[in-house]
Amino acid sequence: MRKIIILLTFIVIIPAAGYSQYYWDYGLKLGMSNYVGDIGGLAGTARPWLLDMKLQETRWNPGAYVRFKIRDPFSIEADFDYLRIQGADSLSTNPARRERNLNFRNDILDLSFKGLYTFYENPDLGNTYRYQNSFSAYAFLGISIFYTNPEGYGDPPGGSGPGWYSLRPLKTEGVSYSPIQPGIPVGAGFNFTLSKTYRIGFEVAWTETFTDYLDDVSGSYPTAAQQATMSPEALYFSNRTTQALAEQYGIATNNYGPGQKRGDPNDHDSFLTADVTLGYVIRGRSSFYRSHYGGLFSKGKYRIRRRRAKF
């Protein structure tokens, strides 16, 4: 047992002491967000990935992050984002989507954990041999869990007047879905470290989700039996097609009747964020590091120029 304890000490404690020589950094994020789903889009009924994204529906994404560099070239990071996505069929050039006439917005709270791989690094920008400023570029893959709450804008009968109404409790397609959902963020970024202290960067993340209800649209209009149990508000937001729209676009209103196609359940929704980051670098050293090397760098002792900064 004693040998096992000693072995575990060397396996766990000694490497951890070495790891603490590396940098933490934390900071804020500010950028924009957009989504790909069932509402809005361009001329086609469904186009892959960015081809179906409406740029005028881009919204904001503030957030924060904390990152720990384990060992070159790997780091881990935790992020918290508060982002908004939204869309409207009225912006589409597809007559069928315009007649469907749905809209939504969704304020998402997203907590993610990522593994980062730094594929390029210049630890001494300008070749000054002072290693004050550096540049690095990285890619990442992670997991996330987020809270989703789609809302629709309208003036339903029995409501409190024009405004935004939460759609998930209304069960506009006659089905229930959870407000807590998982996702897989993937992306890349780069940053500049200035004076070994301040870190400015840019990052793009695409989060693939496991839900088709970020916009509250997925499958079919509720059946007649389901509609019989729905509230007036739910019926209103479930089907926004009117006779006037049908006449305007020359599409029969029965295409939007009970049991007809309302969305595409074969593709999950996803969202995109692009952020500028501003962080602060912490350069702590462990007691293990100080006891072995601290004297070389203490006041009144020798100064040694390191070959590279541990950014």
Evaluate if residue 250 carries a pLDDT over 60: yes
pLDDT in tens, 142-175: 999 999 999 999 999 888 889 999 999 999 999 9
pLDDT in tens, 51-67: 677 888 999 999 999 99
CATH class of 22-297: mainly beta
pLDDT at residue number 45 = 59
Q: Helix, strand, coil: what percent of the chain each, to 5? A: 25, 40, 35
What percentage of the chain has pLDDT greater than the value 90?
59
CA nearest to 41, candidates 121, 122, 100, 107: 100
CA nearest to 139, candidates 205, 92, 223, 194: 205
Q: How far is it, in rounded angstroms, from Cα 271 to Cα 205? A: 8
Could you tell me the maximum CA-CA distance found in the chain, to the nearest angstrom?
88
pLDDT in tens, 95-148: 888 888 999 999 999 999 999 999 999 999 888 888 889 999 999 999 999 999
pLDDT at residue number 254 = 67
pLDDT at residue number 248 = 67
Task: Indicate whether this model's pTM tops 0.85.
Answer: no
Q: How far is it, in rounded angstroms, from Cα 230 to Cα 276? A: 44
Q: How far is it, in rounded angstroms, from Cα 168 to Cα 226? A: 16
Of the two residues 297 and 253, the one the predictor is more confident about is 253
* Residue 257 · residue 216 · CB < 8 Å: no
Helix or strand (DSSP H, E) at 106 = strand 103-122
Evaluate if residue 73 carries a pLDDT over 60: yes
* Domain parsing of the chain, residue ranges: 22-297
What percentage of the chain has pLDDT greater than the value 70?
77
pLDDT at residue number 44 = 59
Of the two residues 242 and 253, the one the predictor is more confident about is 242
